[in-house]
Structure 1
Amino acid sequence: MDPDYLPFHANPSKPTFRAPVGAVDAHCHVFGPADKFPYHPKRKYTPCDASKQQLFALRDYLGFSRNVIVQASCHGTDNAALIDALQTAGSLARGVAVVDPEISMQALEAMHIAGVRAVRFNFVKRLVDSTPREVFLGIAEKIRKLDWHIVVYFEAPDLEDLIPFLKQLNTTIVVDHMGRPDIAKGVEHEEFQRFINLMAENENIWTKVSCPERLTLTPPDYSDVVPFARTLVERFPDRVLWGTDWPHPNMKSHTPDDGQLVDVIPLIAPTEELQRKLLIDNPMRLYWES
């Protein structure tokens, strides 16, 4: 583990909000254990181990039923820890992989059987080395045959440059963490409005209204992030997802309490109908009905 790495909360609070039966944590990770699933030699950070057993225990503790487990950059394109967790969870988990451009259809089909339903393209420069967009387009062509979708991770200043590429993908796209808006600039700033317009003009684009702990300017009070997430939930109720982002890699400001994160849900999805769509209907349609 890196010297400045903040481990996940050892004793999160019990959330006041009770998630509806069948709720999905649609963005979380497993890390290692490193002695069984080594981290990638070219990784940008070394996290603490965060096992499948710990993830599933947290799922139950927070009152959720299922997980979507996302391959993190510290494991590179070695999806062994992800696949192992999916095989343990069975029908209670689905996965988002990171793959090499040379991957065979046979390997992708094996991942599909294990529960993978998407690939992730990471454009956050501090986390991954730059990849030519032609490489991503080649991967997109392969996974389209399996009816998978694409998860993209970027930061708000990079969106304008990425829009033409995103439109080229010609498949369902899920944007991580609302495209990481700059909260200090406000909902009405052109950067966040650009993201809203992108979703309004492209019905194939979804987003995760997650990670207030990464975006807030006043941790651990996440109220400054609520207007951003609530705007997206109310504008695009059928294309939003939510997740804990456990075990919260690369946090610098504080160690998030997962119970407090769950209690943000009714603030961004204030009605039972919006909560059901956010936590059950949307993730089930995207990850389990394909």
Structure 2
Amino acid sequence: MTAAPFRPDADWLPYHRNPSTPAFRPPPGSVDAHCHVFGPGDRFPYAPERKYTPVDAGRDALFRLRDFLGFDKNVIVQATCHGADNSALMDALHAADGRARGVATVRADITDDELERLHEAGVRAVRFNFVRRLVDPKPDQYYRAVVERIARLGWHVVVYFEMADLAERWDFLTSLPTVVVVDHMGRPDVTQPVDGPGFERFMTLLRDHPQFWAKVSCPDRLTASGPPGYDDVVPFARALVDAFPDRVLWGTDWPHPNLKSHMPDDGSLVDFVPRIATDEEKQHRLLVSNPTRLYWGEGR
């Protein structure tokens, strides 16, 4: 039975249909370690509890972009508009033929058989979203119960929060018994100094807790100065790559959900990489060895 058609939000910005060819050539084996698939809604209906309705952006468009930009693999992160129904994610993972891994959203009552199916498809992590404009966060014990369920699989946790909320979440996050990957550098305020107290708190988190990793992604979400260079974001991302070269990841964030100011050119985002990873060794760690170790290494 075909689902009723979905209408995207009136102010939704569709992804760039004709991105530029990046000047930077990613090294062989590179991984886009943060991207999504949306629907298509007539096959994979969006969740009733969603806080946004996107333009469809399915697996085939993602894989075309992967090849065009010169990447070998993807890490596909479950989109909040699909809730805990990972059907679209699993469909993309199966179609990728080993060239993708997944980050799922699961509830604590998920069965062991369902977890096994997710693992066999290529899921290696769960995501906890604490951004209130996107989801309604749950009590800490809810997330702890999920972690207890996934621990035997060797999965890790991906978290998304606003930098202003880090102090509130600190004790909970640092108590988690897994690797914890923080999306988009914890969303720092890039109008403040890179060595100011806000970002220094985040740097301290990574210095004092070696199980934490950071995605140096989404300059388009963080910038005040704007495209194409996102110059104000460069010092923050470079500081993380320089300080923690073995615990950083990068991704396009395609198809760039919930952006309001502009839609980034994915080719320009790839050209952001050599500005933050300033030599070939750092670029290889960021794009190849780090994501390969985390997502294609031994999972249990």
Tell me if both proteins adopt one fold, taking TM over 0.5 as the criterion.
yes
The reply on whether 1:173 has 2:177 as its aligned counterpart is no
**1: CA distance, partners of 2:284 / 2:137:** 37
Residue 193 (structure 1) shift: 0.2
Correspondent of 1:268 among 271, 276, 282: 276
Match for residue 254 of structure 1? 262
The count of corresponding residues between Structure 1 and Structure 2 is: 290
Match for residue 250 of structure 2? 242
Residue 19 (structure 1) shift: 0.3
Seq. identity, % = 60
TM-score under structure 2 length normalisation:
0.96
Match for residue 83 of structure 1? 90
Match for residue 99 of structure 1? 106
Residue 160 (structure 1) shift: 0.7
Match for residue 22 of structure 1? 29
Residue 186 (structure 1) shift: 2.1
Equivalent position amino acid for 1:38 in 2: P
Residue 251 (structure 1) shift: 0.5
Q: Please, which runs of 5 or more residues in structure 2 have no aligned partner?
A: 1-7
**2: CA distance, partners of 1:190 / 1:163:** 15
Residue 106 (structure 1) shift: 1.5
Name the SS for the 1:69 alignment partner. Answer: strand
**2: CA distance, partners of 1:250 / 1:116:** 24
CA RMSD between the two structures: 0.6
Match for residue 295 of structure 2? 287
Q: Please, which runs of 5 or more residues in structure 1 have no aligned partner?
A: none
**2: CA distance, partners of 1:240 / 1:107:** 30
The 5 A counterparts of 1:1-290 are 1-220=8-227, 221-290=229-298
Equivalent position amino acid for 1:162 in 2: R
Equivalent position amino acid for 1:254 in 2: H
**2: CA distance, partners of 1:4 / 1:18:** 34
Name the SS for the 2:181 alignment partner. Answer: strand
Moved more, 220-229 or 236-245: 220-229
Residue 18 (structure 1) shift: 0.3
**2: CA distance, partners of 1:217 / 1:51:** 30
Name the SS for the 2:213 alignment partner. Answer: strand
